[in-house]
Amino acid sequence: MTEPILQVDNCHVWFDIKGGLFTKKQTVKAVNGVSLQVRAGETFGLVGESGCGKSTLGRAIVKLYRPTSGTIRYKRQDITALKGEQAQEYRKHVQMIFQDPYASLDPRMTVSEIIREPMDIHDLYPRREREARVVELLQTVGLKPDHIRRYPHEFSGGQRQRIGIARTLALDPEFIVCDEPISALDVSIQAQVINLLEDIQKKLGISYLFIAHDLSMVKHISDHIGVMYLGHLVEIGPSRELYRHPLHPYTQGLLSAVPIPDPKRARERHRIVLDGEIPTPIDPKPCCPFATRCPKAMEKCFCAVPPSIQVDGRQVACFLYQEGGRAASEINIK
């Protein structure tokens, strides 16, 4: 097995909220002890409800946030403490595609300026070659060379996301954090952008961390999937097995809500409805993060955080799979 290109170990990203005259200081624990690995050329899908910390983790990986503790290693080097030129060099290799193609492009810049800007900042390629590189990148993402002088408002949402992808590719990155790159797009355009990302991966061998809440899209594109809940990674496994046989009660609930195109199979499926809202990540209690919504919660789930253990080739953080809990086969869903 190849060595991981990215290794996150026990990563915490916490934000302090200042206290007032009558309120004490509080801490938002957005990412709470996450560990994962991504191998070269693979796609790791990260799923979970809004507010679970998946985008915060993505931003920590591209150094937009500094982890409170834990390590993020890229090609064995811990990048959390990199500064100045070393951080700049790291950003050449690890880039991000942002969620909103309307907000992430400067409306006053032409397409050429938008895509060329990273090359100017990093002084990549001789100046006179940069324009040719912009044209090449436009063609890679399926846009025409004559789009080069236009402004972002002249394009549709899907085309803008393609411009964002071209800008991301400008520095020849090896790893891209795709932060919900399709959630702001029409359904008809989403598949086109996913296919484009897959084609680019095949051609250039780039690794992706693909963050999304659309589980069917994540299944389609990912080799491995991590399921996040309230700052914790509750299950990690190979994409196909995780979809066929989810182990964690939260993964089971999420997957039971994925629409099935076959009406007969959809009628036969056992739907798990997760009551209640995702709890607040402000000073969470030291218990299973899913305990307040879990249909299988036991007394001990409210007293301690379940450690992540290996079950059937997967990582699962749930007391049901610890010694004395029920066997995996007893808690399958149909």
Q: Which residues bind ligand SF4 (CB under 6 A)?
A: 249, 288, 290-291, 294, 296-298, 301, 306, 318-320
Identity of the residue, 291 or 311, whose beta carbon is nearer to ligand SF4 in the bound complex: 291
Minimum distance from residue 126 beta carbon to ligand SF4 (Å): 56
Minimum distance from residue 91 beta carbon to ligand SF4 (Å): 37
Identity of the residue, 57 or 294, whose beta carbon is nearer to ligand SF4 in the bound complex: 294
Distance CA 127, CA 125 (A): 6
Minimum distance from residue 275 beta carbon to ligand SF4 (Å): 13
Minimum distance from residue 250 beta carbon to ligand SF4 (Å): 6
Minimum distance from residue 317 beta carbon to ligand SF4 (Å): 7
Phi, psi of 104, deg, nearest 5? -85, -5
Identity of the residue, 59 or 296, whose beta carbon is nearer to ligand SF4 in the bound complex: 296
Identity of the residue, 204 or 297, whose beta carbon is nearer to ligand SF4 in the bound complex: 297
Minimum distance from residue 28 beta carbon to ligand SF4 (Å): 21
Minimum distance from residue 248 beta carbon to ligand SF4 (Å): 6
Identity of the residue, 236 or 288, whose beta carbon is nearer to ligand SF4 in the bound complex: 288
Identity of the residue, 72 or 288, whose beta carbon is nearer to ligand SF4 in the bound complex: 288
Identity of the residue, 178 or 228, whose beta carbon is nearer to ligand SF4 in the bound complex: 228
